[in-house]
Amino acid sequence: MNTSKDRMTIFKNAMANYPTGVSIVTTVDEDQAPVGLTVNSFASVSIDPLLVLWSIDRNVSTYEPFSKTDKFAVNILREDQDEIAYLFASKEDDRFAHCKWYESKNGLPIIQNAIATLQCKLYKQVQAGDHLTLIGEVTDISANDQPPLLYHGRKLGPFPSTFHQD
């Protein structure tokens, strides 16, 4: 039988071997300043209504504004946007000073050149262990079919070319 420490290690390794896309989730704080972080916990939930979810660690610096906001934007990154993914996972305080972004009509920060942007109003918050899961209803969406940035084995990388072959 595994100890709980074993289970945690195996769990982390299994999750590291589960490939995902990479997004930057953004919102604004109480002073309307932009905030955002890199996430790979993003997933779709429902088609009718259009629902998505992602989870935020209670210990990250952006936890407070995201726990209070009623809206957020999910910016799904293109395969060449690894630098901005690292920027929004770094200790840099002013992440938005180092990237190209604009404010949407809904007042949400949008990352330029993302392959899809889903602007959401908060649908539900779920406290889940050491994370808070935010479920959003998609109110505005834009997307193109450029290849995504991937996360696997604790590394970021481009989409494998085999997927581009017909």
Is 133 a binder of ligand FMN (CB under 6 A)?
no
Interacting span for ligand FMN (CB under 6 A) from 56-64, 76-84, 106-114, 133-141: 56-64
Q: Which is nearer to ligand FMN, 3 or 154 (CB)?
A: 154
Total of residues contacting ligand FMN (CB under 6 A):
17
Supply the minimum distance, in Å, between the C-beta of residue 118 and ligand FMN.
15
Please say whether the beta carbons of 151 and 120 come within 8 A. Answer: no
> For residues 158 and 61, what is the distance between their CA atoms, to the nearest angstrom?
28
> For residues 14 and 75, what is the distance between their CA atoms, to the nearest angstrom?
25
- What residue ranges in the chain does DSSP mark as E strands? 20-21, 23-28, 34-39, 43-46, 51-57, 71-76, 101-103, 109-111, 116-128, 131-143, 150-152, 155-157
CA 28 remoteness from chain centre: 15
Interacting span for ligand FMN (CB under 6 A) from 52-60, 102-110, 111-119, 134-142: 52-60
Q: Which is nearer to ligand FMN, 6 or 92 (CB)?
A: 92
| Closest by Cα among 67, 17, 60 to 38 | 60
User: Residue 70: CB partners within 8 Å, gap ≥ 6?
Assistant: 121, 122
Q: Which is nearer to ligand FMN, 6 or 64 (CB)?
A: 64
> For residues 124 and 136, what is the distance between their CA atoms, to the nearest angstrom?
7
Q: Which is nearer to ligand FMN, 82 or 117 (CB)?
A: 82
Q: Looking at residues 8 to 47 of the shown chain, list those that interact with ligand FMN (rule: CB under 6 A).
A: 22, 37-41
Q: Which is nearer to ligand FMN, 2 or 61 (CB)?
A: 61
Interacting span for ligand FMN (CB under 6 A) from 73-81, 84-92, 100-108, 116-124: 84-92
Q: Looking at this protein, which amino acid is placed at residue 55? A: S
Residues in contact with ligand FMN by CB under 6 A are 22, 37-41, 54-57, 60-62, 88-89, 91, 151
